[in-house]
């Protein structure tokens, strides 16, 4: 039994040491989380230019809820998260309440809060620039995960496209893939 107890004690010591290392690394990551998010955002900007959306800046809403006369922001963006509790009012106009609020990444690699207001007829928005730390404080680590996931999904789609193109070119030029 002594050998089993020694082995078990050694195993427990390794587990404790591993947990201590994990906590130290987690704390170190949390200290640099905003820096990591900013680097991820800047690195992803070229992909955002391709897969991003033109977000609604302003539009009128008819009685059926359909938007007409829309105006869009000129640069593409991807949505990283939605606030469960939007701000009470917009920074550009305290008279306008915020109905929906999103964390978005622009094609320039900048983070923003996209704040929408609706007065019963007009939907308009304000693009509030935020830094990475503020984005993480407001939206949590979900935005970092969403950015990672978007880039991973984009890469997988590109790999499938390249494989398909290779197959087609091989067929067209009578080469075996």
Q: Where are the domains of the chain?
A: 32-142
**Residue-wise pLDDT tens digits, 28-53:** 777 788 998 999 999 999 999 999 99
**Residue-wise pLDDT tens digits, 45-98:** 999 999 999 999 999 988 888 888 999 999 999 999 999 999 999 999 999 999
Distance CA 15, CA 5 (A): 15
User: What pLDDT was estimated at residue 110?
Assistant: 96
- Give the containing element (helix H, strand E) for 18: helix 2-31
User: What pLDDT was estimated at residue 1?
Assistant: 62
Q: For 20-68, give the DSSP string.
A: HHHHHHHHHHHHTHHHHHHHHHHHHHHHHHHH-B--EEEEEE-TTS-EE
Predicted model pTM? 0.76
- Give the containing element (helix H, strand E) for 105: strand 100-106
- Give the containing element (helix H, strand E) for 77: strand 77-82
pLDDT at 177 over 60: no
């Amino acid at each position: 039994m002594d050998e089993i107890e020694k082995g078990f004690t050694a195993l427990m010591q390794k587990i404790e040491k591993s947990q201590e290392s994990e906590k130290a690394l987690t704390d170190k990551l949390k200290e640099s989380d905003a820096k990591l998010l900013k680097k991820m955002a800047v690195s992803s900007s070229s992909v955002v230019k391709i897969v991003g959306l033109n977000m609604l800046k302003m539009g009128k809403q008819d009685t059926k809820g359909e938007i007409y006369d829309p105006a869009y922001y000129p640069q593409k963006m991807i949505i990283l998260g939605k606030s469960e509790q939007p701000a009470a009012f917009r920074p550009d106009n305290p008279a306008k309440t915020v109905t929906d609020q999103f964390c978005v990444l622009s094609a320039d690699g900048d983070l923003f809060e996209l704040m929408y207001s609706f007065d019963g007829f007009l939907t308009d928005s304000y693009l509030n620039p935020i830094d990475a730390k503020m984005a993480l404080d407001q939206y949590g680590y979900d935005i970092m995960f969403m950015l990672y996931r978007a880039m991973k999904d984009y890469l997988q789609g590109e790999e499938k496209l390249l494989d398909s193109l290779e197959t087609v070119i091989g067929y067209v030029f009578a080469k075996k893939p």
